[in-house]
Amino acid sequence: VKSSFGSEEPPHLPTLPLIGSLLSLRSQHPPHVLFKELQKKYGQTYSLMMGSHRVVIVNQHVHAKEILLKKGKIFAGRPRTVTTDILTRDGKDIAFGDYSPAWRFHRKIVHGALCMFGEGSATIERMICAEAQSLCSTVSEAASLGLALDLAPELTRAVTNVVCSLCFNSSYARGDPEFEDMLRYSQGIVDTVAKDSLVDIFPWLQIFPNADLRLLKLCVSVRDKLLQKKYEEHKADYSDNVQRDLLDALLRAKRSAENNNTADVDTATAGLSDDHLLMTVGDIFGAGVETTTTVLKWAVTYLIHHPDVQRRIQDELDTKIGADRSPRLRDRGSLPYLEATIREVLRIRPVAPLFIPHVALSDASIGDFKVKKGTRVIINLWSLHHDEKEWSNPEHFDPGRFLDSEGTGLTIPSSSYLPFGTGIRVCLGEALAKMELFLFLSWILQRFTLSVPPDHSLPSLEGKFGVVLQPVKYKVKATPRPGWERAKSQMC
Ligand code: HEM
């Protein structure tokens, strides 16, 4: 009879004192690809040592779902690392905060605030459409001058503005110095935080000069100044009767918790310091911008590689919407091929291929394997989304996999598909991200056909790996579609 804590140790990579399994992890491949490769030698679930930390790597969906769903609470912890502690004032946010009553309370408030702007309400749709309009004007201007355009900064700007409207009820025009600052600090953070840098594996390395840590601290201090300014402005004209944005929702929750003296709320209040509030907003910014922008960039990259897919989406748009009006959220149900394309982009290039690490909060098991309290668990979404047993020809881009046999309805053909995670740590912004992906892509493809300029080669599909997996930089030629030649004048 097997014990409920599992009977076997997971297969283990060779380990040396102090450095752990580092020697076996040297590779020219990014970690998600290496971890997938290592399955051949160690099986789908195996363990290794990162410095002094035991880490279990999971490469298959049955174990992933056991961790995220069946034993979600046991595996809901997050590790503390040097870089994320700098970013989040020692884990006082949602994404990197450890499982606790304060964390649960925060998640509930943010979830509530995002629902308020959710599909039932027109507010978020208005915010996204305003940004889609401005994005299409920029593309149209470049097209009318015969210029190819790097779409990446334009997409970043559009998505950042949606999150700004959501968090602060404000958005920025192109070139606004505060906005440019924000883009710069975000990039600095993306470039330096949580990329398994040596200082996260060996915290004692902090005592030596470290350029990445210096840059991270500088960017975090710029971000904090901006967050503080927005916080002071919101406190100054806060009213219980109006909820303009996420910051108002957090302020209201803090005030009502402070006015309430039950023991339960006391625990939660302990987690609603100014620090917690600011870090939570910072988190939504951090988690909401880079991820969605990167998926949009991958979508454009794959559409350029697959003009047939682009044409089929445009046929669908022409038939179901036409050229007299712009797409709305309510059109989602009638554009299955576009939805299938978005699903396929999220499968083939998952932006967070290793999720955020989870931590076992007590002794537990994964399948037959014993897992000790404190063990870090990395779910390799890359392996799940590229599992040959689950997906035929997984490197082939084929939106048709997500359509039923008639080709008109949507399906999810495998359980090995978790682009937003699942369970109690599931992505908080899933609904928002899906709305943005749908509206931005439908607006662009209704108006333009995307390609590379004649003398340019197709952009690489390999990508480069940081906190998220990103496509390389390249320029796009946008050709206005028939009926939208005068798009610029119609949009302004
Ligand atoms: C966590 C994916 C957009 C907020 C996550 C996780 C994934 C993910 C895989 C980790 C789940 C885990 O660790 O088990 C994505 C993708 C996005 C996206 C693919 C875009 C297409 C957003 C947006 C927001 C957001 C727009 C905010 C409005 C968060 C937060 C967490 C999270 C706060 C941490 C949740 C927690 O630890 O409790 N996301 N995300 N994400 N995401 Fe997203």
- Convert the pLDDT of each residue in 147-196 to its tens digit: 999 999 899 999 999 999 888 888 888 788 888 888 888 887 877 775 55
Span 125-149, average pLDDT: 94
Mention every residue, 6+ apart, whose C-beta is less than 8 A from residue 70: none
Structure tokens at 13: 């990579």
pLDDT category at 264 given cuts 50, 70, 90 is low
> How many A from CA of 445 to the centre of ligand 1?
26
Within its chain, how far is the Cα of 99 from the centroid?
20
352 lines ligand 1 (CB under 6 A): yes
Ligand 1 atom 6: residue of nearest CA: 427
Q: How far is the CA of 430 from the centre of ligand 1 (A)?
A: 7
The confidence score (pLDDT) of residue 20 equals 65
Q: Does ligand 1 come within 6 angstroms of the Cβ of 95?
A: yes
Query: How is residue 386 written in tokens?
Result: 């590229």
What single letter denotes the amino acid at residue 268? A
CA distance 84 to 376: 15
Q: Which atom of ligand 1 is nearest to the CA of 289?
A: 26
| Residue 427 in marked binding region | yes
Cβ of 291 less than 6 Å from ligand 1? yes
**410 DSSP 8-state letter:** B
Kindly state if the Cβ of 448 falls inside 6 Å of ligand 1: no
| DSSP states along 362-401 | SSEEETTEEE-TT-EEEE-HHHHHT-TTTSSSTTS--GGG
> 491: CA distance to ligand 1 center in Å?
33
Q: Is the CB of 435 under 6 A from ligand 1?
A: no
Q: Say how many Å lie between the CA of residue 443 and the centre of ligand 1.
A: 24
264-266-267-270 Cα dihedral, nearest 10 degrees: 160
Report whether residue 356 contacts ligand 1, using a CB cutoff of 6 Å: yes
Q: Tell me the C-alpha distance between 94 and 88, whole Å.
A: 9
Report residue 186 CA to chain centroid gap.
14
**Are the beta carbons of 13 and 47 closer than 8 angstroms?**
yes
Ramachandran region of residue 172, left (φ > 0), alpha (ψ -120 to 50) or beta? beta
**Among 4-13, 227-236, 461-470, 482-491, the least confident range:** 482-491
Task: Identify the residue whose C-alpha is closest to ligand 1 atom 42.
Answer: 427
Q: What spacing in Å lies between the alpha carbon of 163 and ligand 1's midpoint?
A: 14
User: What confidence score (pLDDT) does residue 240 get?
Assistant: 85
Rounded Cα distance, 350 and 384, in Å: 10
Ligand 1 pocket check for 38: Cβ under 6 Å: no
d(CA 466, CA 194) in angstroms, rounded, equals: 9
Give the pLDDT score at 347. Answer: 98
pLDDT tens for each residue of 3-26: 456 778 899 888 766 666 666 777
> Which range, 24-38, 134-148, 277-291, is most confident?
134-148
Beta strands in 83-161 (DSSP E): none
Distance of CA 421 to the CA centre of its chain: 10
| Side chain identity at residue 123, one-letter code | T
Q: What is the mean pLDDT of the chain?
A: 87
Q: State the Cα torsion 154-157-158-161 to the nearest 10°.
A: -170
> Residues 313-361: pLDDT tens digits?
999 999 999 999 999 999 999 999 999 999 999 999 998 888 999 999 9
